[in-house]
Structure 1
């Protein structure tokens, strides 16, 4: 059954607009530096639905935590990186030197990665704690749905599976030169490698996803924002694709209801983005 993935107010909304749950990248200029703000992921856990929740404010994201990554670009380097949480119209910095966010879909928590390891943020109490004892510089993170295990992508583009409550890591040798990582709802691991090419990690090694346009200029990968049985969400430019564990793919076209819900979320995210930008500029 198709339908945009919606988790009711106070719970998780999994959305990336151009990719699966991702707000398009927002830029603004200040102090001669380019500040990029990217919505990485939203809050935690909930039920799937195909309708937009009704609430008193009319905003789809009322009472939901939306995470943003803010960084300054100097040359080819991203500096002054921070993760912010936006909830009920207010934004707060929750972790400096962070670029990675992944939600736990069964609990009100999100896992954040920064230059010295993994942190867990409780979206109800708004408390942040160090998770485990690893000290890797984490630039990507993905939480399994069926266990407490995580996958992390480090600054040197190596992928590890993190087990035993963040105290042990196992290198995923099949994932080479990874730029992004994501899991599907079955916990299959996908990654973007060199030249924006997507791969799926199978038992017999990494397999390049087939059936996609050649020479993409950009690629974004994540969990799908729609209720599908298998596969991850990939965006080349503005075109979304479903990519499958058997290394095949197909373009995805929103039906009318999905398109309406998708557009409403984008409008609401734009409002949240403006609130967020205004607050951090004050």
Structure 2
């Protein structure tokens, strides 16, 4: 049995590093008798954060709470065990059987998903409450920018829009065989299909994003972790792209300031992983 810890630090899960046009790489794999810590930049859990693209904070400044998912692999299958919240040097287990996290920072609210529905965790009071009355097994969750409505991805790869404070769900029929979901700042819905290719959901159906590699690899999708107001963030291998609601795309090139902020966040995560690993092993 191999235990893995994956950091879901808000938008940081989007930043999977790249070549000379992208962010510098950092290896987080750490050998120990029972535990490994995988590089959060290579996480593919499909979770998002709500940090405002117009904020004046640094690109990688996500507040005092970092969420982590603890899972066990058996026969190459992941069995998700729990979601932890790391704050002030301590990791607290907040939800069993959890995988999905949407951190609404700078608000003190995070939406968590597990096998029996949706929960809200207050990062200030550290209290957890059930959200609504849905009982779906949730593996992905995102929140609209302009409303309190959510989109969830269930274990059977169906996408629903969740309204009325978690008491009503509407199936998004256009999103077929979804593996991951994301919203942009304009609340356009994107998803990665079974073929690892991204699609945008439009009024006349789902449209395949053009201008990307024919066979994407190690794919990921989320809201942009940089100050871009329109479009979503897509990773194929080591190359980031901005994908747009008109189904077009373009490669993204990081600037020097973004690289510096990334390196600072890497150092911060080194400390978090070390603290978390030590607590788990105690």
**TM-score between the two structures when normalised by the length of structure 2:** 0.83
How far apart are residue 171 of structure 1 and its match?
Answer: 0.1
Query: Alpha-carbon deviation of 1:51?
Result: 4.3
State whether residues 59 and 258 of structure 2, in contact with CA within 8 Å, keep that contact through their aligned partners in structure 1: no
Deviation of 1:15 (Å): 2.8
Cα distance change on mapping 1:96 and 1:19 into 2, 3 Å: same
The Cα of 1:31 is off from its aligned counterpart by 6.6
CA contact (8 A) 2:37 2:273 kept: no
User: 1:264 offset after TM fit, Å?
Assistant: 1.5
How many angstroms apart in 2 are the aligned matches of 1:268 and 1:245?
A: 34
Q: Retained in 2: the 8 A contact 1:42–1:66?
A: no
Distance, in Å, in 2 between the alignment partners of 1:261 and 1:36 is 20
Range with greater deviation from structure 2 (170-179 or 266-275): 266-275
* Corresponding position: 1:48 with 2:55: yes
Which segments of structure 1 move beyond 6 Å, counting only runs of 4 or more? Answer: 29-35, 39-44
- 1:1-282 alignment to 2 at 5 Å? 14-16=11-13, 18-19=15-16, 48-49=55-56, 51=58, 64-105=64-105, 107-282=107-282
* 8 Å CA contact 2:10, 2:103 repeated in 1: no
What is the distance in 2 between the residues matched to 1:33 and 1:89? 19
Q: Distance in 1 between matches of 2:100 and 2:243?
A: 22
String of CA shifts for 1:147-202, please: whole Å, max 9, x gaps: 11000000000000000000010000000000000111111111110121111111
Alignment partners' CA distance in 2, 1:45 and 1:224? 10
Q: Distance in 2 between matches of 1:231 and 1:165?
A: 27
- In structure 2, distance between residues paired with 1:100 and 1:152: 9
Query: Contact between 1:43 and 1:109, CA under 8 Å: does it hold in 2?
Result: no
Query: SS state of the match for residue 226, structure 2?
Result: coil
Q: 1:267 Cα shift?
A: 2.2
Unaligned runs of 5+ in 2: 1-8, 18-24
| Native 8 Å contact 2:82 2:96 kept in 1 | yes
Secondary structure of the equivalent of 1:194?
Answer: coil
Q: CA RMSD in A?
A: 2.8
- Deviation, 1:107, is 2.7
Query: Alpha carbons of 1:130 and 1:34: their partners in 2 closer, same or farther (altered >3 Å)?
Result: same
User: SS in structure 2 opposite 1:16?
Assistant: helix
| Distance (Å, rounded) in 2 between the aligned partners of 1:16 and 1:234 | 11
Structure ranking higher on relative contact order (CA contacts 8 Å, 6+ apart): 2
Q: TM-score, normalised by structure 1?
A: 0.83
Q: Secondary structure at the match of 1:258?
A: helix
CA separation in 2, counterparts of 1:252 and 1:218?
A: 17
Listed one character per residue, the Cα deviations across residues 77-108 of structure 1 (whole Å, up to 9, x for unaligned) are 21142111111111111111011001225631
